[in-house]
Structure 1
Amino acid sequence: MSWVRHLPRAMTESSGHTSNPAESALADLATRMSQQEQTLPVLMEQLNVTNQRYQRLETVLQQLQEQLSSTASGSVPAPATAAAPAFGTEPHAHASGGVVSPGPEALGSPEITHFRSAPPRQCPTFSGEFEDCFGFLLQCRLAFEDSPRSFPTDSMKISFIVGLLRGKALRWAEAKSRNPNFLSGSYPDFLEDFKLTFCSSETTTDIRKRLLHLSQGRRSVVDMSLEFRTLAAMTSWGDDALKAAFIEALNDRVRNQLALCPEPSTLDGLISLCISIDKRHRELQKTPFRDLSPPAVRRPSHRSPPLDSPEEPMQVGRTHLTPEERQHRYSKGLCLYCGKPGHMVHTCPAASKGRAHQ
């Protein structure tokens, strides 16, 4: 008799009420693998749809950024017409549980209204002047920080700056653009090259020399103090040294008046005092001069009657002699006053009577 005959019946024959656990596990695993094989194409299709949406959104965003950059450069292009999927649109599902890609109406070109990127600030143009270089770069940096969505890449920052160049600065950019990597290079490298070309390379010693040789001249203290503060901000001098340099830069008129005032304790106080002194002097120069002394008293002048002279002979009628008549009386020996012979004008009885009546 075989050993199989002695095994329990449950181990040799299958029952309708119990099943082999290994066979059940294998059957379950096969079912799951079949379901996963059916689901995998659906997931791949969903992934493709998502990638298409992402690419279209990226295209629209790039076009919007180009519009903003062109607007800042002075030219407004036509609005973009690229297609983009609507935000929040979900794929359509079949009754069997599968997923299909959205139709053309779902992948149209709706307007993106869920967010707005702040436009970059209007920056001034730059013509290559050394004294304007750092200020121009500061304005550009503020534009980048105010609107980071508008300048996500180095190439867009470089293009924005190049669009603001004029004159010799633009000619420099034209020469550099012969390199195909000029506009698509690294922004830090572009910035370093830009500063090396256009920004002043003054050292701290040079700035201190300019500060010590600063002179007010005929300028107002307000104008001179603006240049002084600009140079002082680039040095590490304290208030005492800056006060001494500022006083040395004043003209004699303001400095002499400043000597009569108490010494201010701070540089700001000194500058404010000098501005007040200079402003008062300039107001006095514009005021017309008025003589406040009392007017002189005029005394009436008494004129004595003129004495008769041979040059002004008079007749009895008190009329002047004509040159011909005067010559006639001289030649005949007649009186120049009455015209009678026998006496001269100083002994003329008629002249004596006339003076007596006056």
Structure 2
Amino acid sequence: CFPLCRPGPALPLFSDTTPEFTQIRTAIANQGILLGQHDTLFKTISENSQMLLNQVQLLTNQVSALTTQVNAAPPVQGIQTAPSPTPPVFPALPAQIREPFVPAPERYDGNMGTCGDFLTQCSLVFEQQPLTYASERSRIAYLINSTSGSARSWGSAVWESQSDVCNSYVAFTTEMRKVFDHPVRGKEAAKRLFSLRQGSRSVAEMAVEFRTLAAVSGWNDEALQGVFINALSETLKDELVSHDESPTLDNLISLTIRLDNRIRERRRERSVSSKQPACRQPTPPRPFPTEKAESSRVHTRSAEPEAMEVGRARLSSEERARRIQARVCLYCGEAGHFVPSCPVRPGKGPAHH
């Protein structure tokens, strides 16, 4: 008869909700991610090794071609050369392929309306440089380093917490969109279109904002044409009256941009011409002064005290008034001449002419 087998101690059973099972599942997932990263790294190393081998083969072919040319040259008289061994010929291999240079995107500061644009620029970098950013975490690190302000604070906090989203670029960008990706769409875009005005801007500058809002408004082409015309200045509205209606929004925007440029250029020309100095008219010759005009000029100048020579006193107000009334010289008191032609005034009389 067979001996009775005693049952051993029962193995513990793990449920899907026990902490032990959760830890084991997380560890297996992390190991899978680590194996995937190692596999990617191994592929990168293999590709680099193959590129180095290609370069070595290419250099070998070039050396072989040079050796063949030297051997084919005619020998110099009096000098005998020994035949060189024929080197092995290797097939030509392609040159090394380098990843293209892609400029870094503009730093994202947490603006609610530009999160999608920032993530699109990052995806273009990863698409053009797959070897540089082969792992998920390297892409997430590049994304965080390209942010600033509130976006940098949020990304740094998530990275330091070592959340599960830090192991998947898709999961990380999904969480980032939940926080920051709230662009203007639908009714909000329609309200902004209604309130949009050209103001002092050019039509080309206004058209950029208009097209951005129109792309997410959901309106048809005819409605957008009416809103665009309503946003123009009164001057351009008057100019459009003399033109036929545009069949499409693109034609309308192109027409108004051309008209606006012409109006602004004409204003500039008028501004430049108004600043140029006007031509001066020739000054008419001064008439010869008459005796009456000369007397009036002398009387006007005599209103101020007349400086006398050394030894002469200044005229009193009564004496000056008497000489003016008597129409005599204010300097010497004689009749027949005035101060400018006084014969006794130093340097002013006829003797000095």
TM-score between both structures, scaled by the size of structure 1: 0.53
In the alignment, does 2:215 pair up with 1:224? no
- Distance change >3 Å, CA 302–CA 170, structure 1 → 2: same
- Distance change >3 Å, CA 218–CA 158, structure 1 → 2: same
Q: Which amino acid aligns with 1:227?
A: E
- Distance change >3 Å, CA 295–CA 190, structure 1 → 2: same
In structure 1, which of residues 114, 118, 122 is the aligned counterpart of residue 103 of structure 2? 122
The superposition leaves residues 33-91 of structure 1 with CA deviations (integer Å, 9 ceiling, x where unpaired) of xxxxxxxxxxxxxxxxxxxxxx99985852897xxxxxxxxxxxxxx9xx989999xxx
Q: Give the aligned length.
A: 244
In structure 1, which of residues 269, 275, 278 is the aligned counterpart of residue 251 of structure 2? 269
- Distance change >3 Å, CA 326–CA 247, structure 1 → 2: same
C-alpha separation in 1, matches of 2:170 and 2:176? 10
In structure 2, which of residues 237, 244, 248 is the aligned counterpart of residue 255 of structure 1? 237
C-alpha separation in 1, matches of 2:155 and 2:189? 29
In the alignment, does 2:117 pair up with 1:135? yes
Give 3-state SS (helix, strand or coil) of 2:171's partner: helix
In the alignment, does 2:193 pair up with 1:211? yes
- Distance change >3 Å, CA 120–CA 161, structure 1 → 2: farther
Give 3-state SS (helix, strand or coil) of 1:121's partner: coil
The superposition leaves residues 261-312 of structure 1 with CA deviations (integer Å, 9 ceiling, x where unpaired) of 2222221111111111211222223221259999979877868835387995
1:20 equivalent in structure 2: none
- Distance change >3 Å, CA 262–CA 338, structure 1 → 2: same
Give 3-state SS (helix, strand or coil) of 1:216's partner: coil
In structure 1, which of residues 289, 301, 314 is the aligned counterpart of residue 273 of structure 2? 289
In structure 1, which of residues 299, 305, 317 is the aligned counterpart of residue 290 of structure 2? 305
Q: Computing the radius of gyration over CA atoms, which structure comes out larger, 1 or 2?
A: 1
Share of identical aligned residues, percent?
Answer: 26
1:153 deviates by 4.8
2:315 equivalent in structure 1: 324
C-alpha separation in 1, matches of 2:144 and 2:262? 47
TM-score between both structures, scaled by the size of structure 2: 0.53
The superposition leaves residues 167-203 of structure 1 with CA deviations (integer Å, 9 ceiling, x where unpaired) of 3222111211233234643333322211122222433
The answer (yes or no) to whether the contact 1:133–1:198 under 8 Å persists in 2 is: yes
The answer (yes or no) to whether the contact 1:310–1:336 under 8 Å persists in 2 is: no
Q: Which amino acid aligns with 1:289?
A: S
The answer (yes or no) to whether the contact 1:159–1:183 under 8 Å persists in 2 is: no
1:62 equivalent in structure 2: 41
- Distance change >3 Å, CA 60–CA 122, structure 1 → 2: farther
1:336 equivalent in structure 2: 327
- Distance change >3 Å, CA 175–CA 142, structure 1 → 2: same
1:159 equivalent in structure 2: 141
C-alpha separation in 2, matches of 1:130 and 1:249? 26
CA RMSD across the alignment: 4.8
List gaps (5 residues or longer) in structure 1: 1-54, 66-79, 89-112, 314-319, 340-347, 352-358
1:223 deviates by 0.8
1:235-254 alignment, distance < 5 Å: 235-254=217-236
In the alignment, does 2:171 pair up with 1:189? yes
1:74-89 alignment, distance < 5 Å: none
The answer (yes or no) to whether the contact 2:166–2:172 under 8 Å persists in 1 is: no
C-alpha separation in 1, matches of 2:307 and 2:101? 101
1:215 deviates by 1.3
The answer (yes or no) to whether the contact 2:110–2:151 under 8 Å persists in 1 is: yes
C-alpha separation in 2, matches of 1:222 and 1:263? 19
C-alpha separation in 2, matches of 1:157 and 1:238? 39
The answer (yes or no) to whether the contact 1:127–1:166 under 8 Å persists in 2 is: yes
In structure 2, which of residues 80, 105, 128 is the aligned counterpart of residue 146 of structure 1? 128
The superposition leaves residues 205-258 of structure 1 with CA deviations (integer Å, 9 ceiling, x where unpaired) of 101111121111111111111111111112222221111111111122222222
